[in-house]
Amino acid sequence: MTVHNTKPALPIISDNVEQQAKAAFQTLHSLFSTHGSTVMPTDFADLGLDGYEKLATRAIGAIKAARMARREAAIAGIRASIKGTVEAAVQSHKVQKEAYDTLLSSTPEAMRKFIAAFPTSVQVPMSDIDGAFPEGTKLETKVALLKEMSYPVSKGKDNSFNLVIPVPFSSKS
C-alpha cells in the first residue's frame, strides 16, 4: 500500500526572500516580544525557528484581539442606540396587555374563547431603529448585525423586517 504525502511542499525561497522574511520577523519581534504570556528571548538573534512560530501566533492573536475589540465597540454603540427604542416598545406592549387583561376580565366566561390570545412578543419595525446604524448601511448588513447581537429578526408580509422582542407576562388571566 502506497501512502501519499497530502501536505503541499513548501516552495524553496531565495536568499533575498529569506532575508526579507527574517527582517519581517525581526519587526514582529520588536513589536510583540513583550506581549503575551510566553517569554521570548530579548535578542532576536537568539530566536530559533520555534520562536518564529510563537511570534507569528502572538502577532496574529494581537491582530485578532484588536479587530474584535473594535467590532465589539461598534456593536455596543448600535446596541445602546437600539435599547431606548426597544424599551419604549416593550413598555407600550405592557400597557396594551393591561388594557387587554381589563377587557378580558370584563368579558363573560362563555365569550372569552372568541378573544385571541395576546401576543407574547413585540415587533419593532426596522425603520424605528435605522438611526442606530452608520449612514449607508445596507439592509442585509443591518439584519446580519442584529442577528449577531442575538436579536431575533422576522420578515414581514410586505418584505419589511422587524425585531421580535419577547415580553414575559405573569399569568393573571
Structure confidence by residue, pLDDT tens digits, 120-136: 999 999 999 999 999 99
Are 56 and 86 in a shared domain?
Answer: no
What whole-number distance in Å separates Cα of residue 34 and Cα of residue 113?
Answer: 71
- Name which of 165, 151, 166 is nearest 79 in CA terms: 151
Split at pLDDT 50, 70, 90, the class of 35 is low
In a domain, 7, yes or no: no
In a domain, 99, yes or no: yes
In a domain, 23, yes or no: yes
In this predicted structure, the answer to whether residue 85 has a pLDDT above a threshold of 60 is yes
In a domain, 121, yes or no: yes
In a domain, 2, yes or no: no
* Beta bridge partner(s), residue 18: none
Are 52 and 96 in a shared domain?
Answer: no
Are 102 and 60 in a shared domain?
Answer: no
Are 157 and 109 in a shared domain?
Answer: yes
In a domain, 172, yes or no: no
In a domain, 10, yes or no: no
In a domain, 4, yes or no: no
In this predicted structure, the answer to whether residue 63 has a pLDDT above a threshold of 60 is yes
When pLDDT is averaged across residues 45-71 and rounded to a whole number, the result is 89
Are 109 and 56 in a shared domain?
Answer: no
Q: Which domain holds residue 132?
A: 82-166
Number of domains in the chain: 2
In this predicted structure, the answer to whether residue 173 has a pLDDT above a threshold of 50 is no
Are 89 and 150 in a shared domain?
Answer: yes
Q: Is 136 left (phi over 0), alpha (psi -120 to 50) or beta?
A: left
- Name which of 24, 63, 66, 64 is nearest 47 in CA terms: 24
Are 88 and 59 in a shared domain?
Answer: no
Are 89 and 122 in a shared domain?
Answer: yes
Are 108 and 153 in a shared domain?
Answer: yes
Are 117 and 159 in a shared domain?
Answer: yes
When pLDDT is averaged across residues 30-49 and rounded to a whole number, the result is 77
Are 56 and 91 in a shared domain?
Answer: no
Cβ neighbours, 10 Å, residue 78: 19
In this predicted structure, the answer to whether residue 148 has a pLDDT above a threshold of 60 is yes
